[in-house]
Amino acid sequence: MTTVDASVEPRSLSRRKPPPSVRRRRLLVSVADHSILIALSVMFLAPFVFIALTALMSNQQALSPRLWPEPFHWGNFVDVFHTAPVWRYALNTTLYASLATIGVLVSSIPVAYALSRLRWRGRDAVFVLVLVSLMLPFQVTIIPIYVVFAKLHLVGTLWPLILPNFLGDAFSIFLLRQFFLTIPEEYADAARVDGCGELRILVSVFLRLAKPAIAAVALFQFLYCFNDFFGPLLYTSEASNHWTLSLGLSQFRTIYQVEWNLTMAATLMFMVPVIIVFFLAQRAFVEGVTLTGVKG
């Protein structure tokens, strides 16, 4: 019964049927639109497909004009591990990304809370400073920071990449603040009436309501570290036992004299975890992207 209702209702609401000529034109426009979208999709997917195909080829075939692997060399994915210390890189990457993410969450949530839900003199000025530090090219401050870490004998380790995250990250502060602002004040007031202090309100009200934004921040930070190339290049390029996946991959072909088929296998293996995470956490992604972009 209910299914019949559902199918009838929209039709009864819709206006009179348009004349056939209009309907035909609409159909043609719709077909054209979808054709363009399909063509674009093919173009967007083609690089993935070619990378995957090459990852399955023998070396000779990768250098030949044939585009379909014959036979399939699944062993390439195993060979990658024999060619370079991939597990080492993966371990370093995980260490860097997880510690940095913890640091960003621990330090940025309280700051974002103070910048959005508490009223104090100078708050807007501080927020402008956060935006300024977010917008200036990071190269502007990198030399003195490098000098400091060099003096502390931390160049050649992952610490220069991890430590700064424990002192707040402008992008995460910005994103969390934008989200905190959307939470109605009534929730906080209700908690205040129940005798909660500001800290309890942050912990038991806002952290719970802001879960999607916190998930987005954690995800972005983790991926940022996973992808980061400049930081590892700057601080660990001389110490190959501290290399991350992105640095290792960039050197893969040249240092180890690896052929294209194995390089593409490694490239693919580097992309796959991110894509899996995306499909598991799609909502957090879209939430985060639109939050930073639109509600400025």
Partner 1 sequence: MTSAPVAGALAAGVERDRRRAKRKAAWRRRGLVLGLMSPWILGFTIFFAYPLAMSAYLSFTHYDLLSSPRWVGLANYRYLFEQDQLVWPAVKNTLWMMAVFVPAQALFAFGLAFMLTRARYGVGVFRTVFYLPALAPVVAATLGFVYLLNPGTGPVNILLERLGIPTPLWFDSPQWSKPSLVLLGLWGTGTMMIIFLAALIDVPRQLYESADLDGAGPLQRLRYVTLPSISPVILFAVVIGVIDSLQYFTQAYVASAIASGQAASEGPTSIGYPENSTLFYPVLLYLQAFSYFNMGYASAMTMLLLGVALVVTLLILRSSKLWVFYQGARR
Instruction: Find out whether 291 and 179 touch, Cβ atoms under 8 Å.
Output: yes
Burial of 47 (0-12, 13-18, 19+ CB in 10 A): exposed
**97, 64, 36: which is closest to 260 by C-alpha?**
64
Interface residue with partner 1 among 76, 101, 221, 246 (CB under 8 A) is 246
CB 232 within 8 A of CB 244: yes
- Burial (CB count within 10 angstroms: exposed 0-12, middle 13-18, buried 19+), residue 255: exposed
Q: Provide DSSP, 47-111.
A: HHHHHHHHHTS-HHHHTSS--S-SS--TTHHHHHHHHS-HHHHHHHHHHHHHHHHHHHHHHHHHH
Using CB under 8 A, which of 25, 74, 138, 208 touches partner 1?
Answer: 138
Which span sits near partner 1 by CB under 8 A: 8-16, 29-37, 74-82, 209-217?
A: 29-37
Query: Binding to partner 1 by residue 135, rule CB under 8 A?
Result: yes
* Nearer CB in complex with partner 1: 4/140: 140
Binding span for partner 1 by CB under 8 A among 2-10, 77-85, 209-217, 265-273: 265-273
Between 7 and 139, name the residue whose CB sits nearer to partner 1: 139
Interface with partner 1 includes 14 (CB under 8 A)?
no
92's tokens:
């370093």
Of 4-12, 71-79, 205-213, 232-240, the window that binds partner 1 (rule: CB under 8 A) is 232-240
Q: Which is nearer to partner 1, 30 or 211 (CB)?
A: 30
Min CB(136)–partner 1 separation in Å: 6
| Sign of the dihedral through C-alpha 89, 92, 95, 101 | negative
Contacting partner 1 within 151-170 (CB under 8 A): 164, 166-168
Exactly one of 22, 78, 136, 190 binds partner 1 (CB under 8 A); which one?
Answer: 136
Q: Which residues 202-221 are close enough to bind partner 1 by CB under 8 A?
A: 202
